[in-house]
Structure 1
Amino acid sequence: MPHPRTRLRSLAVATMALALLGSLAPAAHAAPSESELNKQIETESNKLEDITESFNKLRLDIAKTAADQKKLQASLAPAKAQLLVASAQVDTIAATTYKQGRVGPVSAVLGGERDSLIDRMSYLDQITRANQRDINTFTETTETFADRQAALKVTQDKQAAQLKELEARKKKIEADIKKLRALRTQAYGSPTESASSGAAGKAPSISGSAGVAVDYAYAAANKPAYYGYGDSGPNTYDCSGLTSAAWKAAGKSLPHNAAAQYSATARITKAQLKPGDLVFYRSLGHVGLYVGGGMIIDASREGEPVKKRSMNVMTPYGYGRVK
């Protein structure tokens, strides 16, 4: 016969479970087991990390769009300069015509000996054609500029909408994880989490830039630093934020996105792994820094610390070496 207090706790857990929405809701007539709750938390945490990496990719795209906009503005400057020169020359001829009559421009350009008449007339014709070319170039450039600017505006609006959607999805998943953790705590108590200072131990002695990156990751794990959406330190990191920050300390630039880091690194095999290499997971949804001995240091879960753990905690997708 179960203890009355145990029965009351089970009833409370079952009631709370019914309040969770959609796929988060456990069985209607029984409290979920701790392993079931952990599995649901794991699933939702993976969704959150996917959103984090989508956010990081979008942030890179937004930066590129801003750079394209700046480059587009700069591209108009040469055409503007040519237009100013052409306009000045046209104004000079027009002013001379007004002062000297219909033959004024010819006189202004031709003046001097009669035998050079043909050469001077040719020169006037060249100026006129050059002016028209510059005016035409400016017109074409501004039309192209307007088209490209309109296209960039469409891209910027689309990116802003995507950013808003990701933020809404992030908030919902964070709320779902919070409910699941509260449910687990009420039923089974708080899980023990290795988050003490120095938990990763002493960093191995590794030479070169890889050693600097590994030392950085160990320092983050030993703080301990924690997972933070879109963050790259010094106290909170997401997975690609930690690897990019570690290699930045070593003087190498990596984009803040797991998929982009995969593209930016050289492909290696598992047998070729060395400390400082990157290990990718979940179809490029996660990345960790290999520190040797079959271990990685990574930022993996919202609310959890950066930690050192087995590289086989998930099935690796691939491996990369920073160039």
Structure 2
Amino acid sequence: MSSLRKTLRAVAVAVVSATLLAPAVPARAEPSPAELTRRIEKSSTELEKVVEAYNKLREEIKTNQAAVARLQTRIGPLEQETERSRADVGELAVTAYKTGSNLTAADALLRPGGADTLLERIGMLDQLTRQRQEKISTFTGNQRKLIGQKTQLEVTLGRQAVQAREMTAAKKRIERDLAGLYELRRQAYGSATEKPAPRPDAANDAPAISGRAGVAVRYAYGAIGKPYVWAADGPNGYDCSGLTSAAWRAAGKSLPHNTRMQWGAVAHIGRGELRPGDLVFYSGLGHVALYVGGGQVIDAPSAGRNVLKRGMNLMPIQGYGRVR
């Protein structure tokens, strides 16, 4: 056997031996169903916090828009009043210049005439002085108000611009996080979202409750099976605070579309006082549900899921609230 052939055989044997003796590289294990579920729950909780922050920002923008509208409504008439008072002051100055009517107390005393004439002059002087002071004061006051309102408008518009940028950034983050969550759900369940299954007669399942609370509860029953849609408040989809605000809006009560703001708007009650229509808030104020009696709530759980009725102890509870 030639030396070249011997060398090649030795190399081949060495490679095979090395392959056989090398430690095996374990194949990457697929996450277990339990691990996927844990990741989905964690991602859902984090995403809901971001969604509620987005909802809060949107509520603040609505408040600022209303403030801008009010300010703009006030500024128009104020500008007109300021212009009128400016014209009055200008007219006073022109009249005084043309007629020499800048009457002083010394003039009134030195001019000839009897006591009656003197008193008339002093009275006229006093009246003219008051009129001038009133006109000048009105002009000054209107001008000050106008400057104040315009300054407030500029501040509010500036705040709006900042909020608009924050809103755009938050939306991008939500869409990115949502894509990750949907991918986890596809791995775990084969589908990113549950199939919407609204029941047309679901509202008929609601317990007989009188008053506005009954209207809110029936609305929530009617939403069962509709999909979670972030930042939505119906009628085709909801997030958690969107569902509670929509239910109470149907009952004639306005609630902000944000869990933390709703917590600030309701009367806080104890667990033993709970009755259908009350709100159940969860730890961290990242989630809210509508209590429907019997220890049950209806809520919009998280992205990929549908509105459902379930036991209220679904996560640690922060507190309970009654819509006033």
TM-score, normalised relative to structure 2: 0.78
Q: In structure 2, what is the Cα distance between the partners aligned to 1:119 and 1:192?
A: 86
Given that 2:196 and 2:227 are in contact with CA atoms closer than 8 Å, whether structure 1 keeps it comes out as no
Closer/same/farther in 2, CA of residues 174 and 194 from structure 1, 3 Å limit? closer
Q: CA deviation at 1:102?
A: 4.1
Aligned to 2:169: 165
Given that 1:96 and 1:105 are in contact with CA atoms closer than 8 Å, whether structure 2 keeps it comes out as no
- Range 189-198 or range 287-296, more displaced: 189-198
Aligned to 2:14: none
Closer/same/farther in 2, CA of residues 167 and 211 from structure 1, 3 Å limit? same
Superposition map of 1:1-323 within 5 A:
29-76=28-75, 79-96=78-95, 101-103=98-100, 114-115=117-118, 116-185=120-189, 189=190, 196-198=197-199, 202-221=205-224, 224-323=225-324
TM-score, normalised relative to structure 1: 0.79
Q: Specify the SS of the correspondent of 1:271.
A: helix
Q: CA deviation at 1:194?
A: 8.1
Q: CA deviation at 1:291?
A: 0.9
Q: CA deviation at 1:154?
A: 2.9
Give the counterpart letter for 1:306 in structure 2.
V
Aligned to 2:113: none
Q: In structure 2, what is the Cα distance between the partners aligned to 1:93 and 1:140?
A: 20
Q: CA deviation at 1:43?
A: 1.3
Closer/same/farther in 2, CA of residues 196 and 155 from structure 1, 3 Å limit? closer
Given that 1:93 and 1:105 are in contact with CA atoms closer than 8 Å, whether structure 2 keeps it comes out as no
Q: In structure 1, what is the Cα distance between the partners aligned to 2:148 and 2:159?
A: 17
Q: In structure 1, what is the Cα distance between the partners aligned to 2:183 and 2:142?
A: 61
Give the counterpart letter for 1:127 in structure 2.
Q
Closer/same/farther in 2, CA of residues 266 and 90 from structure 1, 3 Å limit? closer
Give the counterpart letter for 2:168 in structure 1.
K
Q: Any idea what the Cα deviations from partners look like across 1:35-90, whole Å, max 9, x if unmatched?
A: 11111111111122112211111111111212222333344456445434433333
Q: In structure 2, what is the Cα distance between the partners aligned to 1:33 and 1:130?
A: 83
Given that 2:232 and 2:238 are in contact with CA atoms closer than 8 Å, whether structure 1 keeps it comes out as yes
Given that 1:254 and 1:261 are in contact with CA atoms closer than 8 Å, whether structure 2 keeps it comes out as yes
Q: Specify the SS of the correspondent of 1:47.
A: helix
Given that 1:217 and 1:246 are in contact with CA atoms closer than 8 Å, whether structure 2 keeps it comes out as yes
Q: Any idea what the Cα deviations from partners look like across 1:198-239, whole Å, max 9, x if unmatched?
A: 496822222222111111111110xx2111111111110111
Closer/same/farther in 2, CA of residues 129 and 271 from structure 1, 3 Å limit? same
Closer/same/farther in 2, CA of residues 138 and 28 from structure 1, 3 Å limit? farther
Q: In structure 2, what is the Cα distance between the partners aligned to 1:320 and 1:78?
A: 43
Structure showing greater Rg:
2
Q: CA deviation at 1:315?
A: 1.7
Q: Specify the SS of the correspondent of 1:229.
A: coil
Structure 2: 5+ residue stretches without partners: 1-25, 109-115
Structure 1: 5+ residue stretches without partners: 1-26
- Range 147-156 or range 61-70, more displaced: 147-156
Closer/same/farther in 2, CA of residues 215 and 122 from structure 1, 3 Å limit? same
Give the counterpart letter for 1:276 in structure 2.
G
Aligned to 1:10: none
